[in-house]
Structures are given as C-alpha cells and as structure tokens.
Amino acid sequence: MKDLDYIESILELLENKLQLSRRDFSKASVLLSSGLLLSSAGSFALSGCDRKPEWKSISFLKILLHNFQLFDGLQNRLLKDRIILIEEDKIQGIERKGDLDQYRDYKAVDLKGWTILPGLIDNHVHITCPFMNGGDVLSKMDQQIEYNLRNCVMSGVTTVRDVGGSPGKISKFRSKADNNEIPGPRVISSLSMIAARKGEQLGWPVFMPYIRNPQIKEIIGGNFAERPATIRELKEITEEMIRMGAQWLKTLHHDHTISFYPRRIPNHTDEGYKAILEIGKKHDIKCALHAMFVNGFEKGVELGFHSLEHIPMDDVIPERYAEKFIAKGMAIMPTMMVYHDFLNHQIILELLEDHGKEYLIPEAVKQVSNIISKLLALEKRNLSEEEQRKLLADPRYFKEMFPNVVENIKRLNGMGAKIGIGTDSGTFRGLFGRYNDELRHMTSAGISNFDTLRMATVVNAGIIDMQEKIGTIEKGKYADIIAVEGNPLKNIEVMDSVAMIMKGGTFIKGKGVHGLNL
C-alpha cells in the first residue's frame, strides 16, 4: 500500500491546498507485520459491500408477539406459552398465552415457534474503522460505516460499546441508527481512545496515524487515537472527549510489541492513568483499559479501571491479581476472536474468497486478502531473529501463547469474575457481523451456553450500566428482542442465523414473518 495515497485524496478536497506535513501522515501506512488494518477515524476507507437490497424498518404503536419459546436472559431454560406486549419502544408485559382476541388493538406477530432472546450486546467494537487504503477513501468512508452498522445489527447485536473511533462519524451515524434511517445498533462510545506518545514515537496502536492539522481532522471526523505528550495535554484531551459526549473513556497499557523479541513502545505513566481515572470519576464516567499482557492486567487492577479489554496472552494471571480484580467488581472483555483469527488465517482467507463481498467492496477484499496471503507466507518462513524483531505482531507468537488465553478465561470464569462479550470488530480480520464466532469461541473455552448467552446480554448490560434498560426480556425494558430457529441453550450454532430483530420496539429484520416483509 502507498503511504501517501490517503494524503493526496484529502489534499485534493482542500481548495486552499493546506500545507500538510507529510511526516504527520507517515504513520498512516498500515504495517503488514502488525496483522491489523485499523485506521484513524476513516483514514483508510472500509469499503462497502456490493449494493445492498433496499431496507426499511417497521414499527407499530402496539405489538403482540406470540408463538415462541423465551430465553429471558435470567433462567437456564426456555419459557413457553407466553405472549409479549409491546407499546412504542418498551415491553409492557409478559403474560400467559390466552385468547388473543382480547388484544385486538395490538398488531399480532406470529414468531413461528422460534426462540426469542434479548438483543445481543457487543462491548468492544470500532464501528468507524475501515478496511481499505487508497485515493478514493473519503468517497467510500461513510458508505462502509453504514455497512459496519448494518452487518452488526443483522447479526442480532442491538447495542454496542465503541472503544475507539472517529468522534464526528460516531455522532453522525449513531443519530442515523437511532432514528432508524439506516439499520444499526444503539451505540455507546468512548470516542477517540487516549493513546501514548513520546516525542514523535507513538504508543500502541503504533500503526494508527496521528492527525494534528485541525482542518484535516474536521474532514475525517477526528482522530481514532488522540496522543497527548504531557500530563496537561492528557487532561485537556480527556476533558474534550467528555465535552464531545464520550460515555466511556478508553486508554491503553501496551508497553511492547507482540513478539518473541519485543521492542519497547511508549506507555502512559501512572500519573497519566490516574489523571484519566480522576477526570472520569469527576464526571461519573467509567474508564476502560486495553491490556493484552499480564503487566497491563495488573496495572489495571492496581489503579482501579472499570473494565479491561482483551484477556492477557503472555502468561497466566497471578491468582492474587485475579482475586483483586473480582473483589473490585471489575469486568473484562476477552475478545477471543482476535486471538483465534491469528490461528486461522487460511480460514479467514477462504471466507473472503467465498463471501468477501458481503463484508467489503471488491478492492477491499483484494487488499485484505493480499495481506492475509502475505501473513500466511510469513508463517511458513523460518524468520531470522532480526526479521522477528521488526514485527509488531508475530502470528507465531499468538499461536504459542494461545493456551494462556484459554487458561486465563477458565481461571477467571471459575473464580466468578465478571466477563463480558466483545468482538473487537474493526480490525482487518474482525469483520462486522461475526458476533456468533465470539460466542462459539467462549463455549469452546469451556463456558456453558447459558453463561455465554448471559454474558452477551444481562452481564454486558450491567457492565455499561444499562441493566435497567436492556439485557433481559422484562416489563419496562426496551423491546430489544431477537429470534433464532432452535434452542441456543443446547446448540450455540443456532445463533449463526438470526431470523428476527427488534430494536426499541421497531422491527429491523423479520425473515418470513407474515406482514413484515423485511
């Protein structure tokens, strides 16, 4: 990929040809060895799929759902012979099935014996992240963000927590999805993540560009990752994210590359982390910490972050820190899909060959496939120590460390830790619409179907402080309801195909449901 393609596409849009330092943009190239194709706030366009069929939502003032089995998010069984009454966006009642004629003022919807569940929640996404680099980025950026939202909600996800993206784009598309102008989930967001910088050396994610020019930032919607160099700048940026509407704060502890021969990269100081936490506390906003290594997990526990993102991979979590984690009521999003995908490049490549256009436009399929092909070739080579030191993320390291990932999930789950579900969709492998893969990975780690489904619904709702509104099917909560064919308590694979989706009392999808035609 050419580093400056994106720069030229922006410059062409500026009538006054702003003088932009190419050094500022040099970080914009995606390093193949990182194994990621993320970008800052649309710096590389996630290219859209082939034109989707025309979509419309359908809503009624009063809805009666009947002929279903119910997983309410609370009980390890399916309830039968129930009806659900919905008025506007809320569940008004769950009652024993009786004579439906008494509800003639409700729109009756027959769910054909399917199993209904609370709308799923994905607590770790990057909804504005793209999948392609090139000169026509800006013309395709918005189109792809729409497809990210569509693919996300069509997999049954009705709420997401975005933990790093373009503030401007998040605000724009959150509004569109909330108003059902486009299909998409409810979005809770941290806006830009607060990453580290030491002079011109960037901390993780080092492959993300850092745009300083205010005119350029405005065009692309803002930085994916802001990078304060001083404590004063850090405090100013943290306050700015809150003023812009951040509902969480997100920062990172990632002090070296992911390799057998790690290189040090900048991290925030303890003073910096504490400043973020203190500002969050002042505004009653919780803080999330990216922590892929045990030392990051320990730091997050010591300082009291509310959620940790990713399960540590480099070693087994010490029991004393696991106990402290639980005692403090902290939560973790393992994002197992990230680790699994590093083990399965060939499968991802085949997915792109067979179904790539469902996720990406042809050029994006070509670019992502090319990167994965190169990674596969890299895995087959006997790299020298010098070559390995150059890698930001070594696939072979992921494979060797993977048993730690599984062991850490089992350990925390066995000790009663609060574990949520997050996919980290927005990495170049993390195509939106693969939520079911994360469910499978969790059950493959030994977590029961029931516990996995609870993590995806009621537990996730609690983590983002929305347990009074979403996460279970109960009276008074938002009518976020999905339906699948089969019993997910017995077979998690039935979650692969979601037949009906309702978000806030509005039908987003209704395959074969009489009268919906969605």
Give per-residue pLDDT as tens, 329-360: 999 999 999 999 989 999 999 999 999 888 88
Query: Is residue 11 predicted with pLDDT exceeding 90?
Result: no
Residue 290's pLDDT is 98
What confidence score (pLDDT) does residue 147 get? 85
Name which residue leads in pLDDT, 9 or 272: 272
**pLDDT tens sequence across 139-165:** 788 888 998 999 999 999 999 999 999
- The pLDDT of residue 378 is 85
Q: Is the pLDDT of residue 512 over 80?
A: no
Give the chain's end-to-end CA distance (angstroms, integer). 39
pTM of this structure: 0.89
Residue 191: pLDDT over 60: yes
pLDDT the model gives residue 363: 75
Q: Which pLDDT score is estimated for 15?
A: 29
Provide the mean pLDDT of the chain.
87
- Statement: residue 134 has pLDDT above 60: yes
Quick check: bond before 205 cis, omega within 30? Answer: yes
Per-residue pLDDT of 57-86, as tens digits, reads 999 999 999 999 999 999 999 999 999 999
pLDDT at 39 over 70: no
Name the E strands within 179-264.
186-189, 193-194, 197-198, 201-202, 225-226, 248-252
C-alpha distances in Å from residue 231, one per residue of 20, 199, 237, 268: 26, 13, 10, 9
Structural domains of the chain ordered from first start = 5-54+121-463 (3.20.20.140)
| Burial class of 303 by CB neighbour count within 10 A (0 to 12, 13 to 18, 19+) | middle
Alpha helices in 98-230 (DSSP H): 137-154, 167-178, 214-220
- What percentage of the chain reaches a pLDDT higher than 90? 70
Write out pLDDT tens, residues 271-288: 999 999 999 999 999 999
The pLDDT of residue 138 is 66
User: Residue range 302-323: average pLDDT?
Assistant: 98
Residue 108 CB contacts under 8 Å (≥ 6 apart), including other chains: 64, 66, 100
pLDDT at 42 over 50: no
- Segment 395-436, tens digit of pLDDT: 899 999 999 999 999 999 999 999 999 999 998 788 999 999
